[in-house]
Amino acid sequence: MRIPRSQRIFGPVPSRRLGSSLGIDVIPHKTCSFDCVYCECGATTDKTCERREFYPVRELLDELESHLSLMEEKPDVVTLSGSGEPTLYGPLGELIDGIKRIAALPVAVITNSSLLWMPDVREELSRADVALPSLDAAVEDAFRRINRPHELCGLARIVEGLERFLEQYRGTALLEILLIEGYNTDAANLEALKTAIGRLRVDRIQLNTAVRPGTERRIEPLDAESMGRIRDFFGPRCEVIASAKTTRMRHEERILVGIVMPMLDRRPCTANDIGAVLGIALPDVARLMNDLKAEGKVTEREYGGVVFYSSAPGKKD
């Protein structure tokens, strides 16, 4: 699935971790090395560890330069993230270097850590000013249940790659752990995670939970008390980011809902239609539609191989 050029760059959006963040989506929708049960963008349709130049570097840099020229106020950071795993982008290092030349802004990369066993990925990612890797489990069974990885992505290989990367990385490292009740929150899993992260040179350990519907509808987020208890268990480097993130997203979402629902009242729209009007990327469209479907406000149907969204009968408020 080829993302329209207008949707590869999105934002800026406020981020508790990064400030004002302008995003670049370098991966086609749901091309990933994982198929996480909590993913807000939907199920992975191309599970792979093959790195490719999905879009030409020059094309992305031209679009970024054009986008920045129209902004009255520059963002704090340019972030590579979005619809899949950013380190699958083959010329990642070249892109990071190009962004720094054009934007003169720090570059952040959000990664699931799955390809850090590859020396070329470690070298290219080290050019980023901020690295945001994740590690949701340090027990093999829990790792496979939560992240549902590609067959080449073994847990031991990933942890070793993460350790080796962080040993030589000189930028800011923020490690995210996403906690899901019944998956990685029992004593054995938490002890294993504490041991694993104790060996990692990271600036902060940041706890999150599933605040939106994922690919598995039965997953349960942790409550604030449980998150606080686990934060204390992991120690002084650890902080909870889920609650503030939820509040911010809900405020922004209310604004977007007020725009998109009248559209869907009038006629069915595709994700591309919605993204173009709202000025948001396809992953954010998917998250918004998942929320509205869960609330019974939106329905979807496929026509001619394309998914269309409509307002549900009686749910047009």
pLDDT 10s digits, 131-171? 999 999 999 999 999 999 999 999 999 999 999 999 999 99
What are the residue ranges of CATH 3.20.20.70 in the chain?
5-240
Sequence letter at residue 211: V
> What value does the CA radius of gyration of the chain take, rounded to a whole number of Å?
19
Measure CA 310 to chain center.
26
- The confidence score (pLDDT) of residue 15 equals 72
Nearest to 179 by CA among 189, 188, 171, 170: 189
State the residue for tokens 């004593």. Answer: 187
Identify the helix (H) or strand (E) that includes residue 308.
strand 306-311
- The confidence score (pLDDT) of residue 176 equals 96
Contacts with 280 (C-beta within 8 Å, 6 or more apart), sequence order: 7, 10, 256, 288
pLDDT in tens, 245-262: 444 455 566 778 877 887
Contacts with 166 (C-beta within 8 Å, 6 or more apart), sequence order: 173, 200, 201, 202
For residue 124, the number of C-alpha atoms closer than 13 Å in the C-beta half-sphere is 23
What are the residue ranges of CATH 1.10.10.10 in the chain?
243-317
Alpha helices in 32-182 (DSSP H): 57-69, 92-103, 119-125, 140-147, 155-168
Question: What CATH number was assigned to the domain covering residues 243-317?
Answer: 1.10.10.10
- The confidence score (pLDDT) of residue 18 equals 81
- The confidence score (pLDDT) of residue 252 equals 61
Segments in the chain below pLDDT 50: 1-6, 244-248, 316-317
Predicted TM-score (pTM) of this structure: 0.78
CATH superfamily of 5-240: Aldolase class I (3.20.20.70)
Contacts with 110 (C-beta within 8 Å, 6 or more apart), sequence order: 79, 80, 81, 86, 132
Tokens of residue 196, six digits: 């694993």
- The confidence score (pLDDT) of residue 63 equals 92
Is 290 within 8 Å of 239 (Cβ atoms)?
Answer: no
- The confidence score (pLDDT) of residue 218 equals 79
User: Distance between CA atoms of 49 and 244, rounded to whole angstroms?
Assistant: 33
